[in-house]
Amino acid sequence: MKPVTALAKYLEAYDDQLRTDAETPSAIRVDLLGPLRLVTFAGGRGFITYRDLGDLDGRRIAALVGRVLDHFRADPEITRVEWKSRGHDRAPGLHEALLAHGFLPDEPESIMIGALESLCTDVPMPAGVSLRRISSDADVRAMGAMAQEAFGDPAETRLAEALISRLARNDGMELWVAETDGRMVGAGRLEPVPNTDFAGIWGGATLAAYRGRGIYRALTAARARSALAAGKTLVHSDSTEYSRPILERSGLFKVSTTTPYNWSR
């Protein structure tokens, strides 16, 4: 498949298969507002996504942003909200409307898509490193603490508790870690997407002192093999500039960008 053709086909599959309920399998509630899906997750997190914004103009988009914020403000459990934008969408005035309502943009990430098989080829295991899938509460909490250290985030337990809750629901999510000398040094999450060709790889984190050794790529390959065994054929991921080159070398394509806009109560 030629690169241009592959990009178009992968982006079409992304929009058609993933920008639906399939995007948020762990939601505890979903409300519809025009073209938007307003999602509530465990742990006090709100999330906005959509297939597209149709022919809405800037005035109507700004009004939607205000109604979205009213919706989440009305739930006292919600402490933070993410609006997930995509670079290939037609969305006049969205950036300005989000800023006006107190949303702040994070760094854009690359939407990466490709064949799962490409992630499993020629991936050596780094010396002294072992990989395993985890499920115990203690391991999940340790993984969460390690990931926060890797990303430089403040220590808190909400993410770990949300992951523990999801594992109890057995919704298909898998958690994988890399260890060396008895210490967790890397981690990642696998999200097989029901009723699609896709599995998502998320949350890739490696402690700074252990980067550049192939740990991230080995964790990615382990998750890809697990997804292939479950019958999936395509992989998607929102990647930072750290992980994007690794995935490109493994045969994935950058089909667009996504920028999260975040609001905190």
Helices within the chain (DSSP H only)? 3-13, 58-73, 94-100, 137-151, 158-169, 215-229, 244-249
Residue 190 confidence (pLDDT) above 90: yes
Residue 21's identity, in one-letter code, is D
Q: How confident is the model at residue 26 (pLDDT cuts 50, 70, 90)?
A: confident
Give 123-166 pLDDT, tens digit per residue.
999 999 999 999 999 999 999 999 999 989 888 888 899 899 98
Give 78-116 pLDDT, tens digit per residue.
999 999 999 999 999 999 999 999 999 999 999 999 999
14 class by beta-carbon count within 10 Å (0-12 exposed, 13-18 middle, 19+ buried): buried
The residues spanned by each domain of the chain are 19-109, 114-257
Asked if residue 174 lies in contact with residue 181, where contact means CB atoms within 8 angstroms, the answer is: no
Q: What's the whole-number mean pLDDT along residues 18-29? A: 87
Give 58-77 pLDDT, tens digit per residue.
999 999 999 999 999 999 99
Using DSSP bridges, classify how beta strands 45-50 and 36-41 pair: parallel, antiparallel or unpaired: antiparallel
How would you label 237-263 residue by residue, b for 16+ Cβ within 10 Å and e otherwise? bbbeeebbebbeebebbbbbebbbbeb
Asked if residue 184 lies in contact with residue 143, where contact means CB atoms within 8 angstroms, the answer is: yes
> Which residue in 90, 68, 76 sits closest to 261, CA to CA?
68
- For residue 62, the model assigns a pLDDT of 97
Q: Residue 114 is inside which H or E element, if any?
A: strand 109-115
- Measured distance CA(200)–CA(146) in Å, rounded: 21
Q: How confident is the model at residue 1 (pLDDT cuts 50, 70, 90)?
A: low
Ranges 20-24, 35-39, 118-122, most confident: 35-39
Q: Residue 202 is inside which H or E element, if any?
A: strand 198-206
pTM of the model: 0.83
Q: What's the whole-number mean pLDDT along residues 238-265? A: 92
Q: How confident is the model at residue 22 (pLDDT cuts 50, 70, 90)?
A: confident
Give me the chain's average pLDDT, please. Answer: 93
Write out the DSSP string of 14-45: IIIIISSGGG-TT-SEEEEETTEEEEEETTTE
Asked if residue 223 lies in contact with residue 76, where contact means CB atoms within 8 angstroms, the answer is: no
Neighbours of 172 (CB within 10 A): 15
Q: Which CATH class is domain 114-257?
A: alpha beta
